[in-house]
Amino acid sequence: MMSDPQAPRHERSQGAASPSRPRARATRPSAASQQRMGSSARAANPPRAATTRDAGEGTGVHRAVHAQYAKATPPLAAPRAGASRAAQGTPEERGVSRGLAVAIALVVCAIIAIGGFFLLTRCVFAPEEDEAPGVEAGQMVTVVIPEGAGGDMIAGELLKAGVINDEKAFMQAVSSQGADMKLKPGTYQLLTGMSPENVVAQLVAGPNTQEGRLTVPEGLTVAKTAEVVEAALGIPADDFLAQAKAGNYLADYPFLSEARDDSLEGFLWAKTYDFSGKEVSADSVIRAMLDQYAAEVPEIDFTSGEQEISATYGYDPTDYEILILASIINAEAGNPEDYALVSSVFWNRIRQGMALQSDATTAYVTGGEVTADDLQQEGPYNTYLNTGLPPTPICTPDLACIEAALHPEATDYLYFLLIERDGYSNRTFSETYEEHLQAIEQARQEMAERGL
């Protein structure tokens, strides 16, 4: 154990000091010095530095233990005056410490330099966050361009998909082709790594996929249109039919003011619509069709055609009645060459007060083939039992049928027989019922010879 410098005097007198070695005495401060130090110094009571006697007195074992402790326990603070040399370390040890400190400093500097290098190279050479991902060229990808997207957004979508690898080059191609306002929204199938010029050309041409596209052929009823919409866009047919009421749109589309039975029949215009990249609903689809009707039908001169009908057939039709007759022509005649002839048959019958006798108007009710029994069922669409036009159109006609309803051929025909079946065609128009029956019998014989 170590000697305690605070031990009582009688314990110190028992030490075995050698007479040949003078005893070092601890220097004690004078009374004046003690008075100057004041009470604050005594209160602080700093640890007393080891004296020369502490390091040198005692037996050899004591000195060895003391030296060993001094080496093993370096001071936490810098050595003070009069401190043991063992506590400060030998010159060799101090040299090693300095060398180690220099080495550590060099290592730290090297780490900082390497880190700075990598940071610099990352900032200078690392790809930007929006750089195109590593996609192999020539891969087919799907890109959706949202409605209302500007050039920057479109470039970003193309870059993200790997179609282009340079947004600036794409924007330059857009500018050089004058396509700033011509890029169309929708769903596209594009190849990765395409040239910016080819990409711009495709976006100007429009979507090249069927996704989000709705093709509505002419001659469809509202019910059939609902089925097509459901198949193409996933909007339930029942939801579409519930929304397809004229009263829902009369305020925005004045031409619906003549519509009867709250029906949109005849107004859902036939066309291929592109809804890709858009939010769709029954309402938005119906509005797109009514917008198309409003854009195309007003180009027709209803007034002059209706005046001709009035002068020739003694009947003053409304625009809505023209649409009704056009829908019947569309349903009865499969060949556009027959439209004006079929129109003449119906107008001749109206002029003579005859029933139109159109199977197509009854088929609108049955939804399929018409039997003899069906023709005996009373109803507003049975044009065998009722004269005049049915209450609403029976499908959506095309422009050619509307033109035919307004401008029929000048004939005396009251009957027609139109058959297109398995390569057999018969298109016969007759002025009398007897001629019509003869045409029917001849068609039966010809079909029998063909095995039809």
The residue written with tokens 């031409």 in the block is 255
3-state secondary structure of 164: coil
Residue 329's Cβ-side half-sphere holds a number of Cα atoms within 13 Å equal to 31
What confidence score (pLDDT) does residue 13 get?
36
**345 within 8 A of 412, measured Cβ to Cβ:** no
Amino acid symbol at 225: T
- Confidence at residue 135, expressed as pLDDT on a 0 to 100 scale: 67
Task: Compute the distance between CA of residue 410 and CA of residue 432 in angstroms, rounded to an integer.
Answer: 16
What does residue 355 show for φ and ψ, rounded to 5 degrees?
A: -70, 145
pTM: 0.61
CA 364, 366, 368, 372 dihedral sign is: negative
Task: Tally the residues of the chain.
Answer: 452
Long-range own/partner contacts, residues 7-12 (CB < 8 A, 24 or more apart): none
Mean pLDDT by 10 residues, the chain (452 residues): 40 38 40 40 39 38 38 41 41 53 56 50 42 68 86 92 93 92 87 91 84 88 96 95 97 96 97 85 97 93 96 96 98 94 98 96 92 94 96 96 97 95 93 96 94 89
User: What are the Cα distances from residue 370, in Å, to 11, 82, 389?
Assistant: 135, 126, 18
Give strand pairing partners of 191: 140
DSSP 241-287: HHH-BGGGTTTT-GGGGG-STTB-TTTS--EEEE-TTS---HHHHHH
Sorted by sequence, the CB contacts under 8 Å of residue 319 that are 6+ apart come out as 255, 258, 302, 306
pLDDT of residue 81: 37
Measuring CA to CA, which residue among 58, 2, 165 is closest to residue 173? Answer: 165
CA distances from 438 to 333, 345, 423 (A): 20, 18, 21
Contact 264, 245 (CB under 8 A): yes
Q: What interhelical angle do 167-176 and 151-161 show, nearest 10?
A: 130
Burial (CB < 10 A; 0-12, 13-18, 19+), residue 49, is middle
As a whole number of angstroms, the distance between CA 260 and CA 54 comes to 121
Indicate left, alpha or beta for 139 from its phi (over 0: left) and psi (-120 to 50: alpha): beta
DSSP state of 68: H
Domains recognised in the chain with CATH numbers? 140-205 (3.30.1490.480), 213-298 (no CATH), 301-413 (no CATH)
Contact 294, 253 (CB under 8 A): yes
Q: At what angle do helices 339-352 and 302-313 cross, to 10 degrees?
A: 50
pLDDT for the residue 212: 79
420 neighbors 355 (Cβ within 8 angstroms): no
Among the listed residues 161, 169, 233, the one whose alpha carbon sits nearest the alpha carbon of residue 197: 169
Q: How far is CA 289 from the centre of its chain?
A: 24
Question: Two tokens at 316?
Answer: 């003053």
